[in-house]
Each structure stands twice: as C-alpha cells, then as structure tokens.
Structure 1
Amino acid sequence: MKYFEDLEKSAIDRNIPIMQREGLEFMINVFKENDCHCCLEIGSAIGYSAMMLVSNIDNFKVETIELNDERYFEAINNIKDNNLQEKIIIHHDDALEFDCNSLVLKKYDCLFIDAA
C-alpha cells in the first residue's frame, strides 16, 4: 500500500483535503459489515478515498463527482495508474447542478459526501 501512503502524503503536502485513514478504515468496516457493493461519492478530490474503498472491499464500485478541474484530472490519472477504471466512475461537474440521469450505476448502497 506504499502507493496510497505516497498519495496521502502528497495530498497533505499540497493541502488537498482527503479523508483521514482512520475514517476510511471505519467506513470500509461498516460497508463490509453491511454488505455494501456500490457507493455514490460527492467530492472526489484526487480519487484517494474511492481508490481505498474499491481496493479494500471485494466487488465494490464507486461513482463519484468532482468539480475542481485540476483535481478531477489528477483523480483520472490516479485511477488509471491503478487500473481501477472498472470499479470507479468519475464525473466532472458541480454536484449541486449535476444531472442525476447521467449516473451510470443508478442504485447505491450508500451516499458519501466528501466535499470541502
């Protein structure tokens, strides 16, 4: 998990808000205990939390929305670098104005608002 440690450090160094590891571990455990398979995330940032979730929960998918241009493109690259395109769908838009008809997965076990 060196990649995630480096990504976490990079985000902190650049003041990019990401979820703390303890919070993510809690979410991962709750999602596993409740047999969750699909999550809608509002606020992708650089893709850290979505990648952590799909990397630690079997058969888990995340659909996520990010407004910031730079962070969106960085998230795309991070997702591709880890070959997680089949598990993470990312939209570049303002979640408040997003057309929900554009959602791909349509049904979600959980909603995760990770917006600063």
Structure 2
Amino acid sequence: MELLFREMEQYAAENHVPIINERGRKAFLQVVREQKPHRVLEVGMAIGYSTLQIAVNSADDVKITTMELSEERVKTARSYIARSGYDDRIRILTGDAGELLAHEAVQDAPFDFVFIDAAKGQYVDYFHKIEPLLSDSAVILADNVLFRGYVCSEEKPPRRFKTIVKRLREYLELVTKTPGYSTVILENGDGLAVTRREKSKC
C-alpha cells in the first residue's frame, strides 16, 4: 500500500488535487486508529487517498461509503481503489454531497466515523444532514476548518475567502455548542475539528 500511496501523492501534486496534507495526515490517522471505525462516511473523496488511508487503519470489517462530485476524480479513484484490495469494502456515490446525504447515504447508516473534506461553505448543512445518520459514539472529523489561519484570526480575509471563512466559523460554533457533542480543534495542517458524539447518560 505504501507504494500506492506514494503514487497517489505524486499524482495529486502534479494535478493539483487537494488531499490531506502531510502536516495534517499524522493527526488524521491518529484519530482514525483510535476510533478503529466499522462504518465510515466520507464527504469528499477526491482521488480516494483519504478513503484508502481510512480503510487501512480502521477495523478489519470496515465498510466505507464515500461521495465525490467530480466524475473525473471518481474515475481516477476507482482505478486506485481497484488496485488496493479494499474495493469490496468501499461504496462510491457520485454527485452533490448535500443531496446524497439526504437520500443515498441513509441506507448505509449508522456511521461511527465521518470525514468531511468537501465544499467548505457547506459544512453546516452537511452536519445537519449527517447527524441523523450517526451511531451513539460517532466521531466527525472535519478538515481545513482553520482555512489558512483566517478562521481564528482577527485579520480580515481576502474578499474571495470571506464567505468560506464566515461559514467555517459558523460550523465551529455549531459543533462546539450543540448539546451532546464535544469538539477539539487540532491545528495540524489546515486545521482538523474532531467532534465526538457523547452517549446519553439516561
């Protein structure tokens, strides 16, 4: 698998495909290994790099439902996944994540691990649609939540990033203030928000 991962990293660099960066990867994998999930939902697959990292580091019976808007990236991801030995454990959904979360993903729930790495301005919407699909002790890992440092900075972001920064701040406020959840923000990479669903004591 290491050779396949290196090949994917090279492809991503040469073709400007965003994958979880080296600084954030260690923290990302630590959370996955601690959780050892059985049922995973991934929002934003790109070329399948994080998908396969999750597959390798999860429980032996892991099943992953992943979604990606770009048909071209799905095609590339399928070629890598077919060589990985995990293709029978990964279900790929192609299309808009907001729509897929409301319909197609439901049949694979409940999920004990969710990785969000898609349209940053839609994280709040994703959370609301993901919440009914979670197991009692699920973990939601959201990438890029600090967005180049602008989210926690008093410095005004460039106009083209203003909406994204505003919505990511809304997401962090949501996951830190919603009852029944606890959130830790890791500053590794571009920021990872680790949100854990707390079991009811009733």
Aligned residue number for residue 92 of structure 2: 90
**Is the aligned partner of 1:106 residue 2:109?**
yes
- In the superposition, the TM-score normalised over structure 2's length comes to 0.52
Answer whether contact 2:17 2:46 (CA < 8 A) is retained.
yes
Kindly report which structure 2 residues correspond to 1:35-74, keeping only aligned pairs within 5 A, or say none: 35-59=36-60, 60-74=62-76
Shift in Å, 1:10: 1.1
Amino acid aligned to 1:29 = Q
Answer whether contact 1:37 1:109 (CA < 8 A) is retained.
yes
Shift in Å, 1:27: 2.3
How many pairs were matched up?
Answer: 116
- In the superposition, the TM-score normalised over structure 1's length comes to 0.86
Amino acid aligned to 2:82 = K
Answer whether contact 2:42 2:65 (CA < 8 A) is retained.
yes
Identity %: 32
- Stretches (4+) displaced over 4 A: none
Cα distance in structure 2, aligned partners of 1:82 and 1:34: 22
Amino acid aligned to 1:25 = K
Alpha-carbon spacing, 1:94–1:77, altered in 2? closer, same or farther (3 Å): same
Shift in Å, 1:22: 3.9
Range with greater deviation from structure 2 (56-65 or 40-49): 56-65
CA-to-aligned-CA distance 1:19-64 (integer Å, 9 cap, x gap):
1134233222223223422221111101010011111233233211
Which blocks of at least 5 consecutive residues in structure 2 are unaligned?
Answer: 120-202
Which blocks of at least 5 consecutive residues in structure 1 are unaligned?
Answer: none
Answer whether contact 1:24 1:49 (CA < 8 A) is retained.
no
Q: Give SS of 2:46's match.
A: coil
Cα distance in structure 1, aligned partners of 2:90 and 2:23: 22
Larger Rg: 2
Range with greater deviation from structure 2 (49-58 or 27-36): 27-36
Cα distance in structure 2, aligned partners of 1:34 and 1:44: 20
